[in-house]
Amino acid sequence: MQARPDKPRLAWAVTGSGHYLEECLEIIRDLDDVDIFYSRAGEEVVRMYGHDPKGINHKGRVYRDRAASSPPVGLFYRGDYHSLVVAPATSNTVAKMVLGLSDSLVTNVYAQAGKCRIPSIILACDTEQEIDTPAPDRIVRVWPREIDLAHTHKLRSYEATTVVENPEKLLAAIKVRLEEVNQQAIDVAETR
């Protein structure tokens, strides 16, 4: 297992969504203390859009979905992470999270973060009735199904979970959370 970081970091899970992918990678690039967790589809889709999954942020670690039991979840129990971001989150991953399934790396980190009371911020792909989304070679119009929208809506009610609708709101939510974490660290240092 990896050495424990000096202070808790941000865990960022990327799933196999073209929608909002570029915007999410842009945010990840600018972050300092972030480790990336790819779903199997996430790793593939990132490549399809012309990116190297290992080259998004050179300052952090990269975990890929290779094992049945998702060993990196142990890092959440060890205290390596203060928060989890799942962005972009596919219809598939959101549906599994809503059902409480944990059969892949990304659904496992969401489930285990919850069990460790680590807050999660989710950027769901399916928040609008109609979206224009980038395929690798063109823009396509899609109409998320009622069930997809219902899952996104239901996830909002889950504990330790914030669901955001677009990359601007995602960035704002991350900033708020990072400020909170910094303030907590200052408060702890002051009580020593």
Interacting residue ranges for ligand FMN, rule: CB under 6 A: 15-19, 39, 41-42, 45, 48, 90-93, 104, 106, 125, 133, 135-136
Q: What are the percentages of helix, strand and coil residues in the chain, rounded to 5? A: 45, 20, 35
Closer CB to ligand FMN, 91 or 162, in the complex: 91
Q: Which is nearer to ligand FMN, 19 or 177 (CB)?
A: 19
Closest approach, Cβ 48 to ligand FMN, in A, equals: 5
**DSSP assignment, residue 148?**
H
- Give the end-to-end CA distance of the chain in Å, rounded to a whole number: 30
Amino acid at 185: A
Using Cβ positions, the residue closest to ligand FMN within the complex turns out to be: 16
Smallest separation, CB 180 to ligand FMN (Å) = 28
Least Å distance between CB 182 and ligand FMN? 31
Pick the closer one to ligand FMN by CB: 90 or 108. 90
Query: Is the torsion defined by CA of 94, 86, 43, 66 positive or negative?
Result: negative
Name which of 94, 100, 96, 95 is nearest 112 in CA terms.
100
Cβ atoms of residues 99 and 157 within 8 Å: no
- Residue 84 C-beta: closest distance to ligand FMN, Å: 15
Which is nearer to ligand FMN, 34 or 124 (by Cβ)? Answer: 124
Q: How far is the C-alpha of 54 from the C-alpha of 72, rounded, in Å?
A: 16
Distance CA 118, CA 47 (A): 29
Q: Which is nearer to ligand FMN, 90 or 162 (CB)?
A: 90
**Minimum separation from the CB atom of position 106 to ligand FMN (A):** 6
CB of 90 to ligand FMN, least distance (A): 3
User: Closer to ligand FMN at the Cβ: 8 or 112?
Assistant: 112
Contact 107, 99 (CB under 8 A): no
